[in-house]
Structures are given as C-alpha cells and as structure tokens.
Amino acid sequence: MISRLPSESPSCVLCHQKFFNRSSLRRHMERHLLTNRRRFQCDICFKLFCRKDYVREHKQHMHGMRVESKAADSESVSGMQDY
C-alpha cells in the first residue's frame, strides 16, 4: 500500500521533497545545511557524515554491521571535507 502525503505537507525549499511533518523537514534541512560540516567518519570506508546516527545507519546498510551502542559510532573528525 502506498501512503500519500497531504497536499499541504511541509516541503524543502531547496529540493522540494515533501514530508509528513515539520520535524521530518527540520531533520532533512539539517542535511542540506551541514553538508560542508561533515565531522563523523565511517571507520571502514572513511566516508564522512554530519551526524553520528547517519554513520550508524550507513554501517548497517552498506557494511552489514549491527551497531547497537553509541560507543561504536565513529569519532568526530575535525577539519575534513567529503569530496
């Protein structure tokens, strides 16, 4: 079953993606605004992310790892950019 968004649902002003609620839109906007501030790195492939939870999701989906604790997240990497 395909769920439909209400016609007046909040949308991103940069990419026009629509969301169910403002909270989801705020989290999405964080990704746009922090793109150049990626400080968290995957310790397997060294890809950079702007949030620890994105590293955790990346490891689960791309590397098949189950990451349960915050201690397993990569540490912050200052001054690095993703090319």
Neighbours of 39 (CB within 10 A): 18
Neighbours of 56 (CB within 10 A): 22
Distances (CA, A) of 18 to 50, 51, 78: 21, 22, 32
What's the chain's Rg over C-alpha atoms? 15
Distances (CA, A) of 54 to 8, 32, 57, 69: 28, 14, 5, 14
Instruction: Note the pLDDT tens digit of each residue in 16-58.
Output: 899 999 999 998 888 777 665 668 889 999 988 878 898 999 9
pLDDT band at 8 (very low <50, low <70, confident <90, very high): confident
